Each structure stands twice: as C-alpha cells, then as structure tokens.
Amino acid sequence: MMQIPVVKKQLNGYVGFSNLPNQVHRKSIKKGFFFNLMVVGESGLGKSTLVNTLFNTSIYPAKVEVEPTVDTPKTVDIQAISADIEESGVKLKLTVIDTPGFGDFVNNEDSWRPILAAIESRFDSYLEQENRVNRKRIVDNRVHACLYFIAPTGHSLKPLDIEFMRRLHQRVNLIPVIAKSDTLTDEEIKLFKQRILDDIAANKIEIYKPQIYEGDDAETIDETKKILERIPFAIVGSTQEYEVNGKKVRGRKYPWGVIEVDNEDHCDFVKLRQMLIRTHMEELKEHTNQVLYEQYRTQKILSGGGPVIDGNPDPFAKLDEEKRAHEAKMAKMEQEMKLVFQQKVAEKEAKLKQSEEELYAKHREMKEQLERQRVELEARRKAIAEGRPTSPEQKKKKSGLFK
Ligand code: GTP
C-alpha cells in the first residue's frame, strides 16, 4: 500500500482544535462514566468491606447473618449490584459483580467455570449488540477488572488460586490482592508477595500491570513505577473511623494501635485505589475492549460461533470436554438471559426518561400558552372595565368608521 507522506506544518494563527480535549472532557462529564468491577475470593476475605472502603460509601448493604439451610447454593452464584455515585459533579455508574460461593465448597475444582461463563456471556452480549443493525445504544456489561482476593496464609498460592487465574487471565484484567494484610507482619508480606509473583510467573499467568508509555512525563513514570512495586497489593479494608493524633482516620484497631487504611506505610490500599479509580480506570476499560474482548471475538469467529475451549477452537475435543462445554453453555445461556433482561430494563429506563423529558417540555409549552392567554384576557378585562375598545373592529366602530 502506498504511504501518504505526513508533513509537519506551522499554523499562522489560532484555529481552535487545541480545544478538542476540552470537548471530549465536557462530553464525558455530561454522559457520565461507568465501570464494571468483579470481586472474587473465598467468603469472609473482606470483599464487600474493600469495595465499600474503595468508594467510601456503602455500595454493599449491611449484612444480615443467615443461618445456613439445606437450600444453601451448591454452585458459585453471580450477583451484580449497581450504584450511581457522584463526586464534584462527575457521575460514575459502578457495577460490582460478586461471586458468592467461590471456594466455599468441599470440592472447588470447577469454581472458576461459572465465573468464566459469566465473563464470556458478557462478551457475547456485547458482540450481539455490535452486530445489530441499530447500534446506537450499546450497553457495556463487560467486566473491566477482577479483584482476586488471596487469603493471608503467608505460604504461597493455593491450587484453587492458580487454577482460577490460569483459566481467567486471558478474559479479564486480573488484579490479585492479599486480603486482610493486617494479619501478617511486614516481613511475612514481603516474602508472601515474592512467592505469589513466582507462582504467577511459573504458571505463565498474566496479571494486569499498568503500562509505561513512550512520551509519559517523569512524574507519571515515577507514579506508575510506585504502583508496579506494590503488586500484588497487600490491603486492609475498613470504613470504621478512629482518632489518631487528633485526626480521624479509617482503620482497624488493635490493642497496640490502629492500622490505617489510607496510610501508605501501613498497607497498599492507597496505591490500589489510585490505580483502579484515579489513574487507570480508562486504561483498564481500553485493555478490556482492545485486547481481551478482541481476542475473544476472534476466537469466537474462528470457532464458527461455537464454544471456545482454553482459548482455542477445538473441533476434536474429548467427550468429557464436550459435556463440560455443554454445561458451560447452559450456564452462559442463563447469564445471557439475565443480561438481556438487564439490557431491556436499561433501554426501557432510557425511553421512559426521554418521554418524561418530552412530557415536561409539552407541559411547559402549555403553561406558557395559558399564561399568554391569561395576560391577554386580563388586558381585555381591564379595557372593558375602563370602557376602552377591546378589538380592532370596536376601535374602528368607536372612531366612527363604522356607522
Ligand atoms: P462474603 O460476603 O461472605 O463473601 O464475605 P466478604 O468477603 O464480603 O467479607 P466481608 O467484607 O463481609 O468481611 C468479613 C469480615 O472480615 C468482617 O468481620 C470484616 O470486618 C472483616 N474484615 C474485612 N476486611 C478486613 C481486613 O482488611 N482486615 C481484617 N482483619 N478484617 C477484615
């Protein structure tokens, strides 16, 4: 293909396209932002506490202790909670996708399966919307990041952790975190982090790492390096406030003092929040769209729309694998049905909002019309009371033109 030469030109005066970033900024502010965050980890590792701590609000409602019954689910469930939050006029629709039951059964061998099915069905739903004739209102339910909670054992990763990450790393931005790190000493955390990183490398697992780009300024490079150094993040979650040296801090109280959530010397919470919310939220979404989703889409097309097994279309998969694929397909179908329902609700809501706005405009128009009529009538009433003519005909009559 012929290359078109690009020539650098100097402008003779102000044109105005330097305002482009502001246009994007204004449009984004108006539209609002959205982010879909998945949390995975054994029960009681502090998932809901961390989400509430990250967004400094109770996204998760207070828990009601339920007695275990015979109806306790036997598989991993997928539940989504959405919240509209706002900070300095910027709106964020946050959806947290929880996976209760993960790692809680006697046999957890297949715990990753329903979670992978849920992630892929969200990709499928996006793909299906992209293929529609009308692509105006695409609802993006794709999972943009997955916080994976590692139990603070201080040893190394469990087989369940490795299996989960190995199966999921090509489908979602994996962010491993060491849960409840206040239960480990600094030395234990250091060793534990190294073992986790070794296990991740040995199993060829790709976790999400912020990129350093050519052209990044020195400050950005420094910030990114500081985030990278802390991976996997050793976190402490708490929304409880205590007073330390006359200042209110969020933390966990021990007989010897308070472990502060927002203190970088105490844990990696601040760096995790910085990456997830303050500096890399858009990059996580972009990576989901341009790399993970694109990869899935290509594999899906190559497999002729059939199931994608371990990242490869495998027409000669063993019967056992077929059975599993069938089960995964059923789980995915169930997820898809849930998603279609969610989408329909979202579309309906958008339509209702539109008709509400139209009704409001009509109402305003009618009100203005009535007001005009009222003013007119009032003027006529006054004219009659004062014996003045109220119409052009009467005026003419009065002036003697009509006899
Ligand atoms: P499930 O809903 O059962 O999956 O639990 P979860 O993972 O959402 O855990 P949750 O946030 O409910 O926390 C469980 C318990 O751990 C609560 O008593 C929390 O107060 C406590 N907890 C949460 N985060 C931390 C932490 O960072 N350190 C310590 N020591 N305890 C924590």
Q: Which two tokens stand for residue 188?
A: 């234990």
* Predicted structure pTM score: 0.73
Q: Which atom of ligand 1 is nearest to 52's Cα?
A: 11
CA–centroid distance, residue 47 to ligand 1 (Å) = 6
Cα 195 vs. chain centroid, distance in angstroms? 30
The residue whose CA has the least distance to atom 23 of ligand 1 is 46
Set out the domains of the chain in order of their start, with CATH numbers.
27-62+74-315 (3.40.50.300), 366-398 (no CATH)
CA neighbor of 51 nearest in space, from 145, 141, 119: 145
Task: Enter the ipTM.
Answer: 0.96
327 burial (CB, 10 Å; 0-12 / 13-18 / 19+) is middle
d(CA 300, CA 307): 7
Q: Which atom of ligand 1 is nearest to 179's Cα?
A: 27
Ligand 1 pocket (Cβ < 6 Å) reads 41, 43-49, 63, 100, 180, 182-183, 236-237, 252
The residue whose CA has the least distance to atom 30 of ligand 1 is 180
CA–centroid distance, residue 299 to ligand 1 (Å) = 38
Per-residue pLDDT of the chain (403 residues; tens, 9 = 90+): 556 777 777 777 777 777 777 777 777 777 788 999 999 999 899 999 999 999 888 777 665 444 444 445 555 678 888 888 888 888 888 899 998 878 777 777 788 988 999 999 999 999 988 888 777 778 899 999 999 999 999 888 999 999 999 999 999 999 999 999 999 999 999 999 999 999 999 999 999 999 988 888 899 999 999 999 999 999 999 999 998 888 999 999 988 889 999 888 899 999 999 999 888 999 999 999 999 999 999 998 887 766 565 555 544 445 666 677 777 788 888 888 888 888 888 888 888 888 888 888 889 899 999 999 999 999 888 888 888 777 777 766 666 554 4
Are 137 and 164 spatial neighbours (Cβ–Cβ below 8 Å)?
A: no
The residue whose CA has the least distance to atom 29 of ligand 1 is 180
Q: Which two tokens stand for residue 238?
A: 């708490």
The residue whose CA has the least distance to atom 26 of ligand 1 is 180
Q: Which two tokens stand for residue 104?
A: 């809680």
The residue whose CA has the least distance to atom 5 of ligand 1 is 44
